[in-house]
Structure 1
Amino acid sequence: MSKIMFTETQRKELESNPNVIKVSDRSITYAPAFKLKAVKENGEGKSPYHIFVDHGFDLSVIGSKKPKQCVKRWREIFQKYGEDGFYTERRGKGATGRPSTKDLSSEEKLKKAEAHIAYLEAELGLRKKARRTRKAGEEEEEITTSEKFQLIEQVVRTHGFPHLIQYFCELANVSRSGYYNWLKAENTRQKRERKDEADYEIIKKVYDQRHGKVGALQIKMMVENDEHIVMNHKRIRRIMKKYNLMCKIRRANPYKQIAQATQEHKTCENKLERQFDQQEPHRVLLTDITYIYYAKGQKAYLSAIKDGATREILAYYLSTSLKMDIVYTTLDKLMEREDFLPHPECLIHSDQGVHYTHPDFQKKVRDLGLDQSMSRRGNCWDNAPMESFFGHMKDGIDFKACSSIFEVKQAIEAYMEYYNNHRYQWSLQKMTPAQYRGHLIAA
């Protein structure tokens, strides 16, 4: 057996040579016609090196000693058995290299058939299991080499075919040496499995805390900040996929076209132009109103103001009415904050909803010394951070479980506390909004 291990690219390159029948990870099966031709050319005085090079073999891949070894063995076979010796498989049939003429007995044929059936049944079971976990519309993936080794080991252990390893490897189209190497690596696989299980417990703890409404990046930041454990987000994704931990996300809903304002209501220019993060707290304020359905179809309305730079929710107000008071009260709550110091160029941005185009609201904004900006009509992307926040909030709170407006208010207060002070965000340098505000002020 050669000490050279062929890579997948090298195997494909060798198999493209017409003088090769097949290539495993360590061996090459040459075509009988090439063997015969090599012996004849060598007899005419051509060196093994030039024979292989002239027939398209890269000696840096197969090894510089390989031509001499092969041609020497082929000459011996030709001298003993003639041309027929190249067309009969002898490797592994005994030290003499003589072609085997032994026919399989009925008992041996039956045992091979049983082994074949047992392997196919195990492979079918694996494919059924993969189908159950496959998402709709996804194509069925090919069984990996590792899974094939696992199938062979399972069949041998369950049905007892210890002398048919080579036969199983041929059925699965894998190398026997690869199978034995896989068996030797059992301890390494067990260590990796134990490590995965330990990390799964850590991930599952965070996953359960957020009721499954958390992804790999959120888990990474929470684990690093709360548990002081550094874990790669790609590893987290792999373990979540392995143990079927799916992040529960909302379905995308089409945004409703914003109602056209009446003539007395005037829209403002879009001065923000989606420049939400200007790296200065209290310079860009984003505001909007969202519907909240709770209990058995009851409706409430939440108005909120968000800082564009820190993403912190600076003020919010919950109401059962859509009267103008909902936006006035939200503004009042903002100005009552002791830590709110409006930027000299402070801009409050909203959509073209009736509340924000109302003359009284626009006058109140001017009186507070703020400038006003509005999204283009029917364009939700112009106020995307606010829409995104409401979406995440509705993912994080089960409003249908709230039986009263009081419970809705409690749930929102708890979420706002969590969002501002405990929810790490990847694009805020893995900080919470409150931490990032301190970071910007210090900078």
Structure 2
Amino acid sequence: MQQYCSDTRFDAIVLGAGISGLVSAYLLADRGRRVLLLDDYAELGGNHISRDIGGMSFDIGCFFFHENSAFFRHFPQLLGLYLPAETRVVKVRPDGGISGYPFDLRHDLLSLPSAKQAHILSSLIRSRLTVDQRASALDFITYWVGREFANVSGLVPYLRRFYSAEPNQVESSFARKRMGWVARNANLAGLLRSLRRRPETETNACFVRPKAGFREIYSKVAEMLREKGAVVQLAAAVQAIAQTGDGSMTVALASGSVHAAELFSTVPLATALRYCGMPVPAELKSASLVSLFYSFTGNRGFDGNVLYNFHDRGLWKRLTFHSDFYGETAGRAYFSVEFTVIGEPLTIDRYDEDFRKDAAGKGLFAGDLVLEGANMLDHAYPVYLKGASAAADRAIEDLARFGVRSYGRQGGFDYQPTGDVSASVAERTIRGTLSA
């Protein structure tokens, strides 16, 4: 996948080889620009990372793809590599039961005593009249579903677990991006959809990456970029970014320097600031993701292949049964469990201990549960603690004045929930540049 070139001058340099960077490099090269794509990672794909452990195929996270994605518009040849999959997404409720994600009206509301239902309704009406949904992530949720339902349904503990922070300290803008489904499902149409679902699961046809892992996908992307004349340099060890006297940009690498008239950055905003010798605002924080990889034989305790933790106990936020899509290995199912971290993580043993204790308490995974491996991913996604969006806007403006266009999930400090959103934002950014 690596490509070396003796050239040091290009029309454009793109930093970061995740979805945003790949789409950007492809569009620029497609318009005849001489493009250099740089990444400090050893492989393309950014945070699309898969791990093979003894024939078991795990992901760092939970990834599903849809045919109408903007990414496939630019790389249609890739779609044939993906596998069709049926997802069954469920949650652990605060009472320990299993029901549909994100809302299951039958279990979350209609099964409650009529007095409790009336209390939830009055809480919702009061929230719609008195709560400013722009004040915080907690206020966003409270406005749409009411404080009482937010607690009964498990949304509040899930928010706390997802952000690894108190929801009232997180900006509303982050909640709108990450949890727009709350608003979509809190209206009449959303409630009717909830009633029509099967009571225990939500089925959604989609695709998953091939069992061989993301490398199979992104090695094909590398070929397509090279066919367009782009140069891809991985494990680039970027050292610094500087302006030159003629207005062009210079990127210092461990192996030397490269130059371009334009520089596009999709790497984490704090990283780009450091490359340019600029201070990093304290408000710019990113969440890390700890993933534990398990194999299992026995009774998993729920009918689903993706399980969210809406209970108030347990550090884990989501688990994904990869073997449901790729098949068991030596008679063992396998899955990954995710933990969000802001700040210093615990040890892997502590996360494993917490998950086992919590699973047993909820009646999950009765059988032989084996920890096969673990992974720690930095910069999983930006977290908008209060003041972060204003700090990010100022930093992006500072970089733009310096000559660096910073955008994307990481570069724009912009929580983009899917690769489709990332591809669309990159597309708009590059097309805006090309038409200027």
TM range (shorter): under 0.3
Greater C-alpha radius of gyration: 1
As a proportion of its length, which structure holds more helix? 1
As a proportion of its length, which structure holds more strand? 2
TM-score, with structure 1 as normaliser: 0.22
With a CA cutoff of 8 Å and minimum separation of 6, indicate the structure with the bigger relative contact order: 2
